[in-house]
Structure 1
């Protein structure tokens, strides 16, 4: 339920803009319309009026060659080829044509990006750095910014990929302009804005196998020559990709915007959005089980021989589950999964964008509020984990961006982020049931600045810094029930004791000891023990991060740049312990070039990243034996490599693309302790003292997770002109990734070998794009490679999540 200040934000925003729209309508006869380049299909989208003429000139010069793209990654409008930073861009038209509807499908266009999709959220990695957790007690390493607003929870990143201007992927720490916790990079989702004084829009509908259909569209309505309304939405769904019907999805997204140019210097935009995610969410399959052989002092793994398309709920999968050990109950095996997994999440957002042009720069003010309600039952880890959560975040950013072309260009700003999360996690492994309720409160103010000294017409020096303060408060209460075998049967163990069922609350459990550490006996030699824990914590820290860079225009269309930048990710809490902040120092050198009369683009980037106190989030068992999402500081790592991008407009109708990344990554320090012999590919050492933690695990020398050494993207497009108003457009692309590990235990089961994934489509285009009909096929090889694998907590089973299968279908689109 909205509280008073949220209601006030919504009502006051509407109160400001509706009269403004009426005022703009009244001025429509005397004020000429101005071109707005933020609509789909435009190559440039200047938001700073001072930069509009530069964008216009850049676009006019490119009619015979490659288009220029204007980006706002550095808080000002600039040509992508002039932006001295590591960035990849996917335009709104490419997103639509490639069927990209989420961060997980974006990775096919960006070699540096690796995403493991799960029902609880997206595990986003850039060059091997990211997070396996969507826990509210830790923050993602990759910042997700929706329409200029930071989104704190990776589980709140669905339902946004429609009617977009572009997606910007920034690689490496963003220590000044995107300072909060962006140690690995940032994903900027930029919706198409209303076009002033114009009636236009588009619609597209597709249908394919797995009963997949999607309807997407937008309509832009003039509210006078200087105002525009834009409404857009998407509904997509598909049946389950697994035999048991799981890995299904139903997504709804709606967005409304009002943009008003009150005068040539003042522009105001209000945007509101809603998204719902349903279906079962991404699901897993059993791939085998492991067992420890005390005589050999080693583990042995036995494959399940189930296909990766099986799922967890088929009769064969449920039967296999019952061959896995049920935690600490000797001689007892798992029961079948009792409840089918599901996702039921709602996301809301509203923001205002106020831009005022002055002689000393453009002042921008962005107040925003986002809210999420999540209800999930996941079996991705091979056991049932329920989560209901409500997250409420507000933010305010104020910045001043100077006009370009002065001796010193500057960006100055302040940012305030506030987030409150109520989180309820309930799960059972059969031998234990855990119920944890947590409250996390974050307050994070920061100030930042960046100066660029234009030493000559071709040489520039940039320096910037950001001061960030992090204040977090955490409280949790948990009740854990543990099933014990107290009177073993003659055959050994307690093979007939009843396991603890999955329930959404502690009160729903059939056996509940009355007090902490109390034990109740149950039938067949078992007993149930109760463990209550409470925890509170406070984290107060501050950090200054910085950037230093130099850039040199070697030629009119050739840029050489180098930068040093630092990043910081705040510490946080586990239910039983805290963890510290993460730090990165990144060195980058690059060159961006256009040759052959603007028909060939060649960009090269070299990078060297050094992490210390690196955070690792994972599903594990805490000190009281409860299963949960945990985060630890594991040590240090280094990632270095080269990325090369080539784009060629071979003829007016033929375009070729190649993008290659070489990544050499290693953990230079990676240790943790565990109370039992761990199943891991890392070196393990028992403790010398019997009173200490018995096993130390050392994974130094291994590559980072989701970090293939080689990634190669190749694409081609051929346009065949059939008549004056009819053309056939053929597209094909493929991606190669060398082997990589998908989880931190670094076993052979966590390793995915090299993969190829290819896609193709053919489009019949009528009247220069006004209508088009497309046939497409994705993942031609039907390569269902592993994106994530994990041991089932409290059991000896292993599960994996795999990529989508081959999909195909047809799409009809129109623009007006």
Structure 2
């Protein structure tokens, strides 16, 4: 049932008022310290404090960033490149409050502690990614679009009215370079970097006529994340990358009032994949915190990691201007084809670690495809009247196929793996919206917007365990099974059958398991053990081999098991529907021609869904999450230190309801004993949170071409509702029963109380050209990696254990990273050389964790990188 509980508005208003007072004080202090001129004349037409204008599309139309009543941060291509930001995840170094992690190739975006870590086929991002303003539903492979850029915009706070579904935390918009009609506009750059990295990137502009042009861009890159193989087998560590891509952009000005833009792109990502590393055993055995362990020294064994990802898309935008109305029609079709075989490991190396079992091929396989169609029709006013408006309809449809196979090699009894394979996963959404701004006077404007969304999801497939209980002599349990050794290839999406209804005989179950294998491993035993059952025989072939000999089970004299019990995945079918309304309401007031203040309230939603099916019951449904944000802000241009400057500040309060936390549900209730003997994870709307903060942006231009940009975010969050199962201490010997934990008072995961970036840059004119340098320093205070906040674990017995004792420290200490860049541009402007350093102090930080009973899997930031780059411009 949808959680309709709301906290008293008074609490939010009180906190917001407190922040607003601080904001007002900061603005007044700045006004006096800068010795601003007296209030400008109401009829003044020129802003005396013009700074280099930054154009953004945060409100779905081009406007100066200083005219946007909200927090949007824009990074130009030059700023990104010169700061040593060489891949998509590193954007978080330049944007306070932004967190980007990569789990098994799936990009996770969090803004101000709000986002989503659900990477299943039923999951949705909590911050909406866009390419050239068009929604991207599946962020897997987002980094393959990160080249030949114009800029990247990060729009903070819920954007449900203008951007729709899954803009709960905000939006991230990658904007690529456009063709030009009447001039050459191209470049080629080559790069070498530390840790064997190198690459090339380039683009060329082809003018087809006075009104049409084509831009061709592409890139190639090899790099690694800096992990080390601390095992004894010669396996490549995780994080090695070989990426390439090409993009064609066509632009045609069909007439003075109409244009057509078409962008087609294709990219490949390959390498050893992005699995995390379980540090639970290392923490328990040493008593050390993660910061005292070398998290990059991983003991790889068994499976060699491999990743292949192909992403492709085409988007078209048609624009037509009429007398007083602009028409825009945009559509996009995108595909993702992802495969990953995880680089298997036994955690990290540490003093006292036991011997590595090299002959262990337990691991995971992922396969995921997506075909997504997005279409939008939008009408907007194009006159200078007092009323500016836009309205439109939006449609979205996605078809997915998803396969996941987790193997437990040497399954002595009785578990051999888990398979979730879904050949048919559908998602659809429709929305209609309207937004307007009305000028009540020359200085006072009101704004209002409304959006209605209707969406649905459905899924068909299989999900559950592979289990073989094979009896030896005198019905002794159990004979071991090997599955997944060298050369093993699972069927996943290539299975011939996904209907398990009626498969209740040993023969049918054995056949179904065998259909899940395309190529058996060189030393697998499963096929030999159960083939006789699949062929209609008795209990399968029993044999003992040294690598499956558990030391106490022998085979019967007749060579057949005394019994064979097989478990296969269950049927998975589910569907959900939801509809919701987003809104925004506010005003803007021009204190002067260089100072705007604003206040607004707006909302956003993240899509809901359903959980797995258990024992044939309909899956449990969870509703969309929603946030309402109250926001006040000031955007000010002024003069300081003899040059133009900017000071912007925004205070905000979030009311976060219907929040989804992972919980446990009973899947095996014993009526006779009136107790549950089996549990499984589900997503539930059991949470609610409050979040409030202050964001400050200052930009200065000094003499001698020196510029300074300062961005800072002060943030606090508190879970106000949320009682869930504490999965850090799950008793699998007792059916999975787990103690409960009340999350009230905890912080949201990945939320730092303070984060900031400082960018200091200078351009020095020389006789033979110009020299420039840049320092980008980023700091994040400590944060937690899960909702448990490293709280003590209270067992069912009442005993209390610290999180460190059971291997679950999850607090990431505050850290700073520094990027530097140097460049020299020759006098003719055609050639340039650059040097950069990224994370030059080699800080190691956990950006995401997966937490479970004996699981504390960490995903890390990129290691230190140095590089040289040569650029030719034509």
**Larger Cα Rg: Structure 1 or Structure 2?**
2
Question: How far, CA to CA, are the matches of 1:621 and 1:278 in structure 2?
Answer: 38
Residue 692 of structure 2 is aligned to residue 713 of structure 1: no
Question: How far, CA to CA, are the matches of 1:440 and 1:233 in structure 2?
Answer: 32
Question: How far, CA to CA, are the matches of 2:337 and 2:735 in structure 1?
Answer: 44
Out of 615, 633, 650, the position equivalent to 2:660 is 615
Output one character per residue of 1:277-327: Cα deviation in whole Å (capped at 9) or x when no partner: 1111334344342899xxxxxx996779862221241xxxxxxxxxxxxxx
Question: How far, CA to CA, are the matches of 1:286 and 1:584 in structure 2?
Answer: 33
SS of the aligned residue for 1:813 comes to: strand
Alpha-carbon distance change, 303 to 189 in structure 1, aligned in 2, over 3 angstroms: closer
Q: 1:234: how far off? A: 1.2
Question: How far, CA to CA, are the matches of 1:621 and 1:247 in structure 2?
Answer: 35
Q: 1:704: how far off? A: 0.7
Q: 1:421: how far off? A: 0.5
Out of 295, 304, 310, the position equivalent to 1:308 is 295
Residue 763 of structure 2 is aligned to residue 696 of structure 1: no
Question: How far, CA to CA, are the matches of 1:75 and 1:705 in structure 2?
Answer: 30
Report the counterpart of residue 62 of structure 2 in structure 1.
77
Output one character per residue of 1:472-529: Cα deviation in whole Å (capped at 9) or x when no partner: 222221251236698999xx998x94565475244235455969xx998976478764
Q: Is the Cα contact below 8 Å between 2:717 and 2:751 reproduced in 1? A: yes
Matches within 5 A, 1:456-475: 456-475=441-460
Report the counterpart of residue 865 of structure 2 in structure 1.
807
| Ranges in structure 1 where 5+ consecutive residues have no aligned partner | 1-59, 293-298, 314-336, 680-685
Report the counterpart of residue 21 of structure 1 in structure 2.
none
Output one character per residue of 1:243-298: Cα deviation in whole Å (capped at 9) or x when no partner: 12321111112110111111110111111001111111334344342899xxxxxx
Q: Is the Cα contact below 8 Å between 1:611 and 1:637 reproduced in 2? A: yes
Question: How far, CA to CA, are the matches of 1:350 and 1:154 in structure 2?
Answer: 16
Report the counterpart of residue 57 of structure 1 in structure 2.
none
Q: 1:130: how far off? A: 1.2
Alpha-carbon distance change, 284 to 538 in structure 1, aligned in 2, over 3 angstroms: closer
Report the counterpart of residue 340 of structure 2 in structure 1.
376
Question: How far, CA to CA, are the matches of 1:90 and 1:519 in structure 2?
Answer: 65
Alpha-carbon distance change, 63 to 440 in structure 1, aligned in 2, over 3 angstroms: farther
Q: Is the Cα contact below 8 Å between 1:616 and 1:633 reproduced in 2? A: yes
Question: How far, CA to CA, are the matches of 2:108 and 2:343 in structure 1?
Answer: 16
Report the counterpart of residue 391 of structure 1 in structure 2.
370
Q: 1:654: how far off? A: 0.5
Question: How far, CA to CA, are the matches of 2:607 and 2:473 in structure 1?
Answer: 48
The more displaced of 608-617 and 258-267 is 608-617
Alpha-carbon distance change, 115 to 779 in structure 1, aligned in 2, over 3 angstroms: same
Out of 223, 226, 248, the position equivalent to 1:256 is 248
Report the counterpart of residue 770 of structure 1 in structure 2.
830
Q: TM-score with structure 2 length normalisation?
A: 0.76
Out of 715, 722, 743, the position equivalent to 1:670 is 722
Alpha-carbon distance change, 797 to 703 in structure 1, aligned in 2, over 3 angstroms: closer
Question: How far, CA to CA, are the matches of 2:786 and 2:727 in structure 1?
Answer: 20
Q: 1:366: how far off? A: 0.7
Q: Is the Cα contact below 8 Å between 1:286 and 1:311 reproduced in 2? A: no
Q: 1:630: how far off? A: 5.8
Report the counterpart of residue 800 of structure 2 in structure 1.
none
Report the counterpart of residue 505 of structure 2 in structure 1.
none
Output one character per residue of 1:44-82: Cα deviation in whole Å (capped at 9) or x when no partner: xxxxxxxxxxxxxxxx98999631011112111111110
Residue 772 of structure 2 is aligned to residue 729 of structure 1: yes
Question: How far, CA to CA, are the matches of 2:735 and 2:344 in structure 1?
Answer: 35
Residue 276 of structure 2 is aligned to residue 272 of structure 1: no
SS of the aligned residue for 1:289 comes to: helix
Question: How far, CA to CA, are the matches of 1:443 and 1:465 in structure 2?
Answer: 20
Q: Is the Cα contact below 8 Å between 1:705 and 1:743 reproduced in 2? A: yes
- How many aligned residue pairs are there? 710
SS of the aligned residue for 2:163 comes to: coil
Matches within 5 A, 1:290-369: 307-313=294-300, 337-369=301-333
Output one character per residue of 1:751-790: Cα deviation in whole Å (capped at 9) or x when no partner: 1101011111221121264321111111111111122233
Question: How far, CA to CA, are the matches of 1:546 and 1:643 in structure 2?
Answer: 22
Out of 104, 117, 125, the position equivalent to 1:119 is 104
Question: How far, CA to CA, are the matches of 1:729 and 1:355 in structure 2?
Answer: 39
Alpha-carbon distance change, 78 to 530 in structure 1, aligned in 2, over 3 angstroms: same
Alpha-carbon distance change, 779 to 259 in structure 1, aligned in 2, over 3 angstroms: same
| Ranges in structure 2 where 5+ consecutive residues have no aligned partner | 1-44, 230-236, 348-361, 410-414, 492-512, 518-525, 545-549, 554-563, 614-618, 669-676, 791-807
Report the counterpart of residue 607 of structure 2 in structure 1.
570
